[in-house]
Structure formats: C-alpha cells, structure tokens
Amino acid sequence: MLAMKDNPPMTLPEGGPLADVPAPWRVAYTKTRQEKALAWDLCRRGIPYFLPMVLRETSSGGRRRKNLHPLFASYVFYAADDETRLAVLKTERIVSHVDVTPAEQPQFRREITALELGLRTAPAAFELQPQLAAGDRVRVTGGPMKGLEGTLVRANRVSKLCLSVTALGASALVEIHGDLVEPAEGSVEETRPGTIEYQVG
C-alpha cells in the first residue's frame, strides 16, 4: 500500500477543467491494483486524466490505516487522441477500454466534472452506489454544488446526492442537506454541468 504522500494527484496538476480538455475522454480498465500506477504514468507524460479516489480506513496486522482508494476499482479516465492512446497502451497496465462514443462525450464530460467537484468538496462522504432510477428533476440551490441538476428519488436515511458515470453503469453518493434542492423546471438560473441523482430521506 502506498503512503499517503506517494499517491498520485486525482487529476493532472494545472491541467484545467476536465470538461475543457480538447482530446476525447477514454475509460481504461486496468490490471488489478494498477490504477494509481497508470495515473502516475499519465501524470509524468502530461496526459489529462481523472482517477476518482476516496479516503478509507483499513485494518492490517492489528493496525488501522487511512489511505486513498480508487472509487471505481480498476478504472481510470484519461483524454487522448489515437496516437497518444497507443502510447498509453504501451504502459502494459491496461486490460481493455470502455468506449465513450463522440455522441456520448458531452454527457461524459458533465458527469466526470460533477464527480470531481463532489470529491473535492466532500470526499469523506462518498460511497459507491449502483445506478438509481430516474424521477423528478431537481436543482441544488446552495453550497459548493449550487446549480447542479439531478434526479429526485426516495430512500430511507440521510439526504444524499448521487453523481453518476453512465459509461460504467455506476454512481457515487455524497451527503447533502435536504433543504438545498428545489424543482428544476422553471428555474431561471444558469445550470452548472453535471448528471446527478438526488437521494433524500
């Protein structure tokens, strides 16, 4: 296990907003426990990437340790043209790719932008969650995620915001106060990018 200081940055330092990267985004499925190594390879080459990570506490040999773990095991997102993609494959850390078609690129960019925002503002509140069913559209009205739109669903416990990555068929939940949403229809404020579902208790 890497020491905290040896973890790669979640995104390319000074790489700018994920949605503004000109190259098409790709989803790499890595060999077991190769997500961070691939992220470091991409970082050293200056290739835009996004490795969603969350802080987790584990126990080993009677000792409890905290470290960053990939939110989606074996998946790393990176942006590259065809030539750069071939160079990335030569790292021999990738098993396969999940296709993100040109038509799917705009939605994918919105989703990873929303996911990055959630991880940077409330990393400790995230947990992996299967894809949720759609319902009423809502807008976040306050806090660091103000302006994001999503889908309202009903659940039993605390209020949570679900950030989805359609290409993976997976979502991640982050806690949010139930008073910070309103119906999205008829709102006049500008919407920030993001495909989310909102789970309220």
Q: Is beta strand 53-60 parallel, antiparallel or unpaired with respect to 192-200?
A: unpaired
Would you state the pLDDT for residue 178?
Answer: 53
Q: Domain coordinates of the chain in residue numbers?
A: 4-99, 125-200
Name the 3-class secondary structure at 151: strand
Alpha-carbon distance values, 162 to 93, 150, 200 (Å)? 30, 8, 10
d(CA 71, CA 129): 10
Whether the full predicted model's pTM is greater than 0.75, yes or no, is no
Q: What is the CA radius of gyration of the chain?
A: 17
Would you state the pLDDT for residue 121?
Answer: 84
Q: In what order do the strands lie in the sheet with 181-183?
A: 127-130, 170-175, 160-165, 192-200, 148-154, 136-140, 181-183
Torsion (CA) 197, 167, 171, 96 in degrees, nearest 10 = -170
DSSP classification of residue 84: H
d(CA 126, CA 162): 9
Would you state the pLDDT for residue 4?
Answer: 72
Would you state the pLDDT for residue 175?
Answer: 62
4-99, superfamily in CATH?
Answer: NusG, N-terminal domain (3.30.70.940)
Residues of the chain predicted below pLDDT 50: 130-134, 154-157, 186-201
